[in-house]
Structure 1
Amino acid sequence: MLSINNLSFYFGSRPMYDGANLHIKPKDKIGLIGANGTGKSTLLRIIDGEYLPDGGSISKSGDCTIGFLNQDLLSYQSDDSILSVAMQAFERQNFLQAEIDKVLHKMETNFEDDDVNKLARFQDEFDALGGYTIQSEAEAILEGLGFSTDDLSQPLQKFSGGWRMRVMLAKLLLQRPSLLMLDEPTNHLDLPSIEWVENYINTYEGAIIVVSHDRFFLDNTVTTIVEVAGAKLIPYSGNYSFYMEEKALRNEVQKGAYENQQQAIKQTEKFITRFKAKATKARQVQSRVKALERLELIDDVLDENAKVNFKFNFGTQPGRFIMHLEDITKAYGPKRILTSTNAVIERGDKIALIGANGKGKSTVLRIIDGSEQFEGERKLGHNVIDSFYAQHQLESLDVNNTLLDELKMTGTGKLETELRSILGCFLFSGDDAFKKIKVLSGGEKSRVALAKVLISEANFLLLDEPTNHLDMMSVNILIQALQQYEGTYVVVSHDRFFVSEIANKIWYIEDEEIKVYPGTYDEYETWMEQRRIDGTLPKEGSPKKTVEKVVEKKPVLDDFAKKEAQKNLKKLNLKLTDAESLIAKLEAEKVEKEKTLADPITFNNADTLKKENIAYQKILNSLEEANDTWEAVMLEIEETESVLQ
C-alpha cells in the first residue's frame, strides 16, 4: 500500500534518516517509537507530503488515502458546532445534501420533470453513500470521545485545545482513510476516551501508524513496533511488550558481536604496532591495515534504561495527617463538581487521581493546593511543605536562564556538582547544563520543571499530568524518581502504566464525591471490572442517590475543660519542640559517626571499629525512640486541636 525506500532526510547537517526503509501493508497496525528528537513526527509529515525527502522515495498505491492527526490541529478554531465540524468529513454527502435542498426548495414553486429526475439521482447516490446515517455516526464517535449530547451543538471555539483535538480526531475517523496516522493521540484523552479509541482502532479496516508514549495503549492497539534509531527504521513483529523482550535479545547479541569485534581490532592493532618496523612483515602489516580500514564497525549497545539514583531530601518531617478535606462543595455555575465530600491524605500516601475529563480532577488538585475557591474546610497538617507541578508552570521557567541556573532558583543550596548530577538523571548530560531554557523542546522543558519540583525539598507533591510530552525514557525516569521519593504525593494522570507503577492508593470522583480505593491501579481495575459485571457501577448521568449523613457530634467543652485543654496543648507543643531538637541533634551525631566509620583509620582498627559500631547503633536506637515520641506527641496535638475546634 505504501513503501518507503532508502529514505534520507536532513535537518541542517544532522541526518534524521539515512537509507531508511519501511513497507506498510493494508490493515497494518504500527506503533512508531523512539526517543524525543529522533524524527517520529517528522516521518509522519514526510509521508503526508508536508516535508520533501532529501533522498530515496515514498511510493503509494493509487487508492491510498492518508489522514493525519497532528499537534498543529490544537490551534484550529471555528464558529461552527462541533457536530458540524466533525461532519465536514463527509464532503460528497454534504454536497449532495445541499443539492437536494436546492432542488426541493425550487420544486416548492416550480415543479418540472427534470428536477424530479435530478432529485432522484441525488437521493439515490446520497442513500448509497450512507447519507441518512452520517449524523448518527458522527454523534456516536463524538460521544465516544467524551462529549455529552448537549456539547454537540456548541461552537468549536468554546472548547479548549485538547477538546478541539478530539473533534479533529472524530473528523479524521469519520473520513476512514486507508492510512490513519496519529501523533500522540492519548495526550489529550482521558481514560474512558483512550479505551474507546483502543476499541475503535482494533476494529478499524485500514492501516494505522501511531506515535505514542503510552505503553498500555500500544500493547492494546498495535501488532508491529517500528523503532526510530540511528537514522533507520527498525521493525519488530509484535506489540510493545514483545518489542521489549525482542530488543533485549537483540541487544545481547549485538553486545557480544561488538565485544568480539573490539577484541579482534585490539589484536590486529597489536600486530601492526609490533611488526610495522620489520621489513619481512611489511606485506602482512599492510594487509591488516587495509582490513581495519574496510571493517564495518558494530555499534556498542546504548543503555536506554537510564537509572535515577539520587536521594530526594526534605529536612522537615510532616505529621501523620497531611490534609483533611471536610464537607467540600465546588461548582462552576450550574455544573456541580463536588458535593459535601470528605477526604484524608496521610503521610506516605502515593495517590493517583484518575477518571474522565470534566469530572474535576485538576480542580481537586487546586483545592488541595489552596489555589481554588470552594465551600467547606481544608485543614493542612503539621509541617507540611507542598510543591505543585502543572503544565502551565512550563511558562514560568525563565527562558533566558541556563538549566543549571533554573535549578539553582529552587534555593536548596545544593552544590553545582549535585545539580549537574540531577540534570544527568533527567537526561541532560555534559554541556546541556549550560543550554538556555528557550532552546528546549516541550518535553525537555517538562523534564526541567519536574526536576525543580522533585529537588524542592517539599514533603508533599501535587503533579498534574506530569507525563504529557515526555518520551518513554523520560517517563521511566519519573517513575524511578517517584518510587524513591519518601514523601507524599497526589498525581493526576491518564497514563495507565505510569499510574500502575507509582500509586498505592486510587482516588476517583463518583456521585460528586471523592471515592478511595485502598490499593494499586491493577487491583482497582480488577475491582471496577467486577463492579461492571455485578451491575453496581453507576451509569453516567444517573441521578445521585440521596444518603442521610450521620454527623458525629463533637463533645462540647465547658470553660474549665477548654482552659485545661489549651494548657495541655501548650505543654504538648513544648514537648514537640524538644523532640524535634533532640532528633536534629541525634541526626547530626549520626552523620558525624558515619564519617568516623568511613575513616580508613577506624576501618583498619578492629577494636576501634567495634566500639564505634556500638556507639553508632546506640544513636540509631535513640533516634528511633525520639521519632516515636515525636509521632505520639503529634497525634496528641492533633486530637487536642480537634476537640478545641
Structure 2
Amino acid sequence: MVTQPPLSRKGSESGQSVRIQNFRTFAPMISISNLSYYIGDRPLYEDANLHITPKAKIGLVGLNGTGKSTLLRLIDGEYTPDEGIISKSNDTTIGFLNQDLLSYQTNDSILTVAMEAFGNAVELQRQIEKTIHQLEVEYSDKLVEKLTRQQEEFERLGGYSMQSQAEAVLEGIGFRTEDLHRPLKEFSGGWRMRVMLTKLLLQRPSLLMLDEPTNHLDLPSIQWLENYLKTYQGAFIIVSHDQDFLNNTVDMVVEVSQQQLITYVGNYDHYLIEKEERSELQRNAYENQQQQIKQTERFIERFRSKATKARQVQSRVKALDRMDKIEAVAEENRRVNFKFTMSRPSGKSVILLEGISKAYGDLQILNGATAEIRRGDKIALIGANGKGKSTVLRIIAGEQVQEGQRTEGHNVNMAFYAQHQLESLGVDNEILEELKGAGSKKTETELRNLLGCFLFTDEEVFKKIKVLSGGEKSRVALAKTLLSEANFLLLDEPTNHLDLQSVNILIQALEQYEGSYIVVSHNRHFINHIANKIWWIEDGEIREYPGTYKEFVWWQAQQEEKKAAAEPQSKQAAPKQEKPAPAPKKAASPEQEKERKQLQRQLEESEKQVTALEQQEAKLEAELAKPEVFGNPERLLEVNSQYTSTKEKLEAAQQQWEDLMLRLEELE
C-alpha cells in the first residue's frame, strides 16, 4: 500500500467526512488480485496481489528472471493472467516504455514523432490547415465560423504550446536543438528510445511504466528525468538497476520474490533496511518451525510401533499435515568469495597523455589535453554523451589514432572491456570454456561461482556463446575481464545489462582489486563506491577532481553558487582592477578553539537527534500505510497526531543543525 498522507490539523478537526474523502482519493486505480502466471510449468506468480493508487511512485525490483518486465506486460494487457484478475478504473490510461520500441523507425523527424503524443491536437491542426486552404479558394462565413470553432478547440487542447513542450522535453533528455528536425531513422537505438520516452512523457498517462529507462541516458539526462518524475502528477512504475535513480524518484518499492509481490514503503534505501529486518524475522520463524518439525518427526518415528501411543502419533501426523510451512529465506546478497590476482604490479606511472588532440570533422573532442593515470588510481570518467568519453578510453588503450604523445608505464598489463570487445569472444565456445581460456588458473568451482554472480547458473554455463543475447555476451566479457591478471582495467559502461545485485557484485570485485582502472559509467551509486578520482572533458581538456563522486557533486554545487553570486557583481562592476591578495588567516585563539570544539560536540548531538527523528518519521509513515490503521479512524487520528508532532520536531532539529553548522563555518 502507498503511504496514506497525514491529515492536516484542519482535516483532523473537521470530522469524519474529511477522512472518508481522504480515503476515496487513494482508492486503487489498478488492482491485481490473486494473480498467477506460468511460463511452461514454471510459475512466475502465484496468488500475487498489488494495488496501485493514482499517485503511486513505485520501484519494481527483483532478480533477473523473476518476472518484472512480465508484470508490466500483464498490466498493459499484452499478456493474459492464467489465474486471477487485473482490474483498472475506466479512466486509467497507461504508457509503457520497453525495449521493443528500439526497433521502431520512420522518416518523420524526431520532433514530429514526439508530437504524436498530442494526437487529437495534431489531427485538429491538419483540419485547420485544410480549412485555411479552402478559405483561400472559396471564402464564406460558414468556413470562417468553422475555422473559429476549430481554433478555439485547438487552443483548449493546448495545441499552440505542444511544439514548445515537445522541444523542451527532447532537449532536456539530451537532444541538441539542431537535431530536432532530423529523421528518427538516422539515430541509434538508444537515441530512438529517448524519443519514445519523450512521447510517453508528453502523453502524461495516468500510469507511466518505465522498463530500464536509464539504460540509454547519460548523467545530465538521468538527472533531468528524475526532476521531471518528482513533479509527475500521475502514477508510475520503474524497473531500474540504478539505485540512486530509484532513491530519488520512488516512495514505494515492490519486490518480486518467490512468486509474490512484496510491498515496502519508502525509497530503495528504506527497502534494503526493512527487507533485512523482515528476512531476519522470517529466518528465525523458519528455524523455529524446522526445529518443531524435527522434534515432531522424532516422536512419530520413536513411538510409531507402540499401540499405547497410537493416538498421540496420529495427532502429530495430522498436525504436521495441517501446518502452514514457512518458506526459507532466499539468500540474494551474493558475495565475491575469491581473490582477483595480478601477474605483477605496474610502475608508478600507468599512462601519461601529453598534448593530445582529437577531432571528428568539425567536432573537437580534445585539444592539447594532458593527463596521467598513476598506480592505485580508481578513476570514473563522467559526462554527457557525445563528449568523447569512449574516445578517451580508446586513446588510453592505444586503439585510437590521435595527435600528441601517449606513454605507457613500466610493467603495465591492460584489459579493456567495451561493447566492441564482444567480437573477441569465441562464438563456438561454451561460457565456462570461454572463462577457462582466460588463463586465470581458477578452479571450475571458482569460475562457476563468478558466472553465478553474473546471472549464469546451473546448466546455463554450458550454453554456446553464439546463442547468447547481446546482454548475455556483455556479462561473459565482463566476467572474463575481471578474471584477467591485468594490473590496469578499462571498463566502458560495465553495469549495462546487470541487475542491482550484480552491480553490487561488481562493486565488491573492484573494491578488492589492487590494480588501477578507469571506468565510464552513468550509474552514480556504482561510481560513488568504486572511484577515488573523477575525470570529465571540458573545453578540449581532461579535468580532474581528486575525490569521490559524492564529494565532486558537492564541490560542483559550490562552484555553481560562487559563479551565480559573482555574476550580478560583475555586471555592476567598474573597470576591472586587480584584487588585493587575501590577508593571511590568523591562528585561532584558545577561546575560539574551545568554542569550536563545543560547537562540534553540539553539532554531533544535533545530527544524532535529526537521524533519530527521521527514523521515527519513517516508522510512522509505515504505520500510516497499514490497512488496519487507515481503516480505523480513531487509530488513524492517533498515529497522524504523532506523525505531525514528529515532523515539527524534525524541522526544528534540522534548523538547529543548520544554525550550528553556520556558526562552526564562521569560526573556521
- Taking structure 1 as the reference length, the TM-score comes to 0.81
Aligned equivalents of 2:492, 2:347: Cα separation in 1: 24
Aligned equivalents of 1:441, 1:276: Cα separation in 2: 56
1:212-232 CA distances to partner (integer Å, 9 max, x unpaired)? 011111110001100001111
Instruction: Give the aligned length.
Output: 539
Match of 1:120 among 142, 148, 169: 148
Match of 2:293 in 1: 265
Aligned equivalents of 2:107, 2:455: Cα separation in 1: 43
Q: Return 25-34 or 151-160, whichever deviates more.
A: 151-160
Q: Return 514-523 or 419-428, whichever deviates more.
A: 419-428
Aligned equivalents of 1:131, 1:273: Cα separation in 2: 79
* Correspondence 1:227 to 2:251: no
1:83-118 CA distances to partner (integer Å, 9 max, x unpaired)? 111111111111111111111111112101211111
Q: Return 278-287 or 416-425, whichever deviates more.
A: 416-425
Q: Which amino acid aligns with 1:147?
A: F
Aligned equivalents of 1:438, 1:44: Cα separation in 2: 29
Aligned equivalents of 2:270, 2:482: Cα separation in 1: 33
* Correspondence 1:18 to 2:25: no
Match of 2:158 in 1: 130
Where in structure 2 are the equivalents of 1:341-490 lying within 5 Å? 341-438=369-466, 440=468, 443-490=471-518
* Correspondence 1:339 to 2:339: no
- By how many angstroms is 1:264 displaced? 0.3
Match of 1:214 in 2: 242
Distance 1:174 1:51, change over 3 A: same
Distance 1:314 1:435, change over 3 A: same
* Correspondence 1:45 to 2:73: yes
Asked if the contact 2:218–2:522 (Cα under 8 Å) also holds between the matched residues in 1, the reply is: yes
Aligned equivalents of 1:538, 1:442: Cα separation in 2: 49
CA RMSD of superposed structures (Å): 1.7
Aligned equivalents of 1:15, 1:538: Cα separation in 2: 62
Aligned equivalents of 1:105, 1:209: Cα separation in 2: 45
Q: Return 458-467 or 155-164, whichever deviates more.
A: 155-164
* Correspondence 1:296 to 2:324: yes
- By how many angstroms is 1:393 displaced? 3.2
- By how many angstroms is 1:159 displaced? 1.3
- By how many angstroms is 1:436 displaced? 3.3
The percentage of counterpart residues that share the same residue type is 66
Match of 2:62 in 1: 34
Aligned equivalents of 2:115, 2:403: Cα separation in 1: 42
Structure with the greater alpha carbon radius of gyration: 1
Distance 1:177 1:424, change over 3 A: closer
Aligned equivalents of 1:410, 1:133: Cα separation in 2: 58
Distance 1:149 1:497, change over 3 A: same
Where in structure 2 are the equivalents of 1:133-172 lying within 5 Å? 133-172=161-200
Asked if the contact 1:354–1:361 (Cα under 8 Å) also holds between the matched residues in 2, the reply is: yes
Aligned equivalents of 1:181, 1:307: Cα separation in 2: 31
Distance 1:394 1:42, change over 3 A: farther
Aligned equivalents of 1:438, 1:6: Cα separation in 2: 40
Match of 2:552 in 1: 524
Match of 1:325 among 349, 353, 357: 353
Structure 1 residue runs of 5 or longer lacking an equivalent are: 540-645
Aligned equivalents of 1:5, 1:538: Cα separation in 2: 59
Q: Provide the secondary structure at the position in 1 that maps to 2:559.
A: helix
Q: Return 513-522 or 366-375, whichever deviates more.
A: 366-375
Match of 1:192 in 2: 220
Match of 2:666 in 1: none
* Correspondence 1:254 to 2:247: no
Match of 1:85 among 97, 113, 122: 113
Asked if the contact 1:443–1:471 (Cα under 8 Å) also holds between the matched residues in 2, the reply is: no
Aligned equivalents of 2:471, 2:364: Cα separation in 1: 34
Distance 1:170 1:142, change over 3 A: same
1:386-437 CA distances to partner (integer Å, 9 max, x unpaired)? 1111134345433442221010221334443443343345454444433334
Structure 2 residue runs of 5 or longer lacking an equivalent are: 1-28, 568-668
Match of 2:525 in 1: 497
Asked if the contact 1:389–1:466 (Cα under 8 Å) also holds between the matched residues in 2, the reply is: yes
Asked if the contact 1:28–1:208 (Cα under 8 Å) also holds between the matched residues in 2, the reply is: yes
Aligned equivalents of 1:204, 1:423: Cα separation in 2: 39
Asked if the contact 1:86–1:167 (Cα under 8 Å) also holds between the matched residues in 2, the reply is: yes
Q: Which amino acid aligns with 2:346?
A: P
Aligned equivalents of 1:298, 1:436: Cα separation in 2: 39
1:8-47 CA distances to partner (integer Å, 9 max, x unpaired)? 1111111111111111110110000000000000111111
Distance 1:349 1:52, change over 3 A: same
